[in-house]
Amino acid sequence: MRRLLSVLLVLALATTVTTGCRSTTPTANEIKVGLVTDVGGRGDQSFNDSALRGLEAWAAKKTYVKGGGYVDMSDEDYAKSLADNAPDLADKNIAPIAGITPVILESKEQTDYIPNLTKLAADENCKLIIAVGFMLADATYQVAKEYPDVKFMLIDAVPSDPNTFEPLPELPNLICYLFKEEQCGYLVGAIAGMATKNNKVGYIGGVAVPAVQRYEAGFMAGVKTTNPTAYGTDGKNVANVYAGSFTDQPKGKQIAQTMISQKCDILFHAAGATGNGMFEAIKEAGGPSKGIWGIGVDVDMGKNPNLYPEGTLTSAIKHVDYATWEAVKAVADDTFKPGVVTLSLSDGGVGYAQDNISKVLSADQMAKVEALRQDIINGTVVPPTDPMAVPAWTPPSGF
């Protein structure tokens, strides 16, 4: 009996050791997919969380447990995640991908980018590594060159030469996903122009990276289209402030409070977690009861109970979640192709949420927004991508 117990104890210890070491050695049917967040990290309720949803929930069918680890997601919760976050992607056949194991590393500062990417490639044996955001472009290109056998996905950027700003040579293991943020920014700007009662609207940016500037350009052009008074001469009537951060919620609140004191009644942010402070300021100012509304970004913030759903007029949606799922599926299916993919209104990559639009706009106004959406898809309306180009841009008439 003692001998039998000893054998069982040895086997138990061996099993424990094997399980503890499993993080660096994928099993035969396992596809480890790493993801490095930008400094906004998990819980930004915006850009990073959208990428995490695409990997953890939609691809791996896992629910993250606060403090670390995962539990399997139920079929009901999976369907709800799609219904809440991607009702416009019902035709994309999004479904769980067998064998996916997420490995997430959060970046607290920019110096974390290269170590995090390298750890996933060298130590975790990830088959695909996802880099979330423009700020990771240089680091991703560098690590992708060092690990040619690992595939990389870069969101919101194409690596470029820091001196000439020309795109760097394409790598065979790197795919870059871009979005037409100016298109969804334009539509929510058109809505803002129709919705404002004071002819005063505001835009809060995080860091002036290209994607955020495309949101800005689209928003300004949308306001110019539906409310030239609110736009003003060369856009000078629009309150426009960059916080210089994607993580400073108090700064976002302070900027929003200033805009509200200036009689801005519609505010749009493209500032990550910084923008959460905008909703806080709107709520404290009385929100819709005072005619003040917020416009969310990247995800449908009107579905987020942690923000201010009843004060969210609409949201400029950017499906980072879908792009992430698509890249993971390509690796799992062995159909990965390097290069640049740009998602737009035409393919469901961007859009706008209904949220509380019907409470503010008339049926005729809502139809005009839909007409503008179709005009963009048809190519008859082309929103500008550069904020500096908006003053010279000629808007369509009749809106």
Torsion of CA 195, 201, 207, 212, to 10 degrees: 40
Q: Are the C-beta atoms of residues 179 and 156 closer than 8 Å to each other?
A: yes
What does the mean pLDDT of the chain come to?
A: 92
Do 121 and 235 lie in one domain? The reply is no
Residue 33 in domain? yes
Residue 19 in domain? no
By C-alpha distance, which of 333, 329, 287, 326 is closest to 308? 287
By C-alpha distance, which of 341, 53, 305, 312 is closest to 170? 341
Strand partners, 201: 266
Q: What confidence score (pLDDT) does residue 28 get? A: 60
Q: Residue 26 pLDDT more than 80? A: no
Do 285 and 302 lie in one domain? The reply is yes
Task: For CA atoms 96, 100, 106, 110, give the dihedral sign.
Answer: negative
Three-state DSSP class for residue 385: coil
By C-alpha distance, which of 174, 88, 169 is closest to 128? 174
Look up the pTM and report it. Answer: 0.89
Which DSSP symbol is given to 395?
P
Could you give the angle at the alpha carbon of 332 between the alpha carbons of 329 and 338, nearest 5°? 70
Do 256 and 312 lie in one domain? The reply is yes
Q: Residue 319 pLDDT more than 90? A: yes
Q: What confidence score (pLDDT) does residue 285 get? A: 98
Q: What confidence score (pLDDT) does residue 67 get? A: 85
Residue 50 in domain? yes
Q: Are the C-beta atoms of residues 328 and 100 closer than 8 Å to each other?
A: yes
**CA pair distance 295, 238, nearest whole angstrom:** 15
What's the structural domain count of the chain?
A: 2
Q: What confidence score (pLDDT) does residue 27 get? A: 62
31-36 and 128-132 as β-strands: parallel, antiparallel, unpaired? Answer: parallel
Q: Are the C-beta atoms of residues 242 and 177 closer than 8 Å to each other?
A: no
Q: How far is CA 7 from the centre of its chain?
A: 53
Average pLDDT over residues 69-95: 95
Q: Residue 265 pLDDT more than 60? A: yes
Do 261 and 301 lie in one domain? The reply is yes
By C-alpha distance, which of 271, 367, 351 is closest to 316? 351
**CA pair distance 306, 212, nearest whole angstrom:** 23
Do 197 and 132 lie in one domain? The reply is no
Q: Residue 9 pLDDT more than 90? A: no
Residue 345 in domain? no
First to last CA, the chain: 87
Q: What type of residue sits at position 380?
A: T
Residue 355 in domain? no
29 pLDDT tier (thresholds 50, 70, 90): confident
**CA pair distance 58, 223, nearest whole angstrom:** 35
What would the pLDDT profile of 204-241 be if each residue is shown by its tens digit? 999 999 999 999 999 999 999 999 999 999 999 999 99
- Residues of the chain with pLDDT > 70, as a percent, come to 93
45 pLDDT tier (thresholds 50, 70, 90): confident
Identify the domain boundary among 306, 330, 354: 330
Do 166 and 206 lie in one domain? The reply is no
Identify the domain boundary among 307, 330, 353: 330
Three-state DSSP class for residue 267: strand
Residue 349 in domain? no
Q: What confidence score (pLDDT) does residue 125 get? A: 94
Rg of the chain, C-alpha, whole Å? 23
Q: Residue 8 pLDDT more than 60? A: no
Do 198 and 167 lie in one domain? The reply is no
Do 105 and 219 lie in one domain? The reply is no
Q: Residue 11 pLDDT more than 80? A: no
Residue 275 structural domain: 182-317+362-389
- Residues of the chain with pLDDT > 90, as a percent, come to 87
Average pLDDT over residues 325-354: 97
Please provide the DSSP assignment of 168-208 as one string: PPPPTTEEEEEE-HHHHHHHHHHHHHHH-SSS-EEEEESS-
**CA pair distance 172, 149, nearest whole angstrom:** 9
73 pLDDT tier (thresholds 50, 70, 90): very high
The CATH code of the domain that includes 306 is 3.40.50.2300
Classify residue 343 as left (phi > 0), alpha (psi -120 to 50) or beta: beta
Do 77 and 159 lie in one domain? The reply is yes
Do 206 and 138 lie in one domain? The reply is no
Q: Are the C-beta atoms of residues 205 and 216 closer than 8 Å to each other?
A: yes
Residue 22 in domain? no
Q: Residue 16 pLDDT more than 70? A: no
H-type helices in 67-112, by residue range? 75-85
Average pLDDT over residues 274-285: 97
Containing 343, the helix (H) or strand (E) segment is strand 339-343
Residue 35 in domain? yes
7 pLDDT tier (thresholds 50, 70, 90): very low
Q: Residue 6 pLDDT more than 70? A: no
Three-state DSSP class for residue 69: coil
Could you give the angle at the alpha carbon of 368 between the alpha carbons of 362 and 369, nearest 5°? 95
Average pLDDT over residues 163-170: 91
Do 224 and 170 lie in one domain? The reply is no
Do 159 and 282 lie in one domain? The reply is no
12 pLDDT tier (thresholds 50, 70, 90): very low
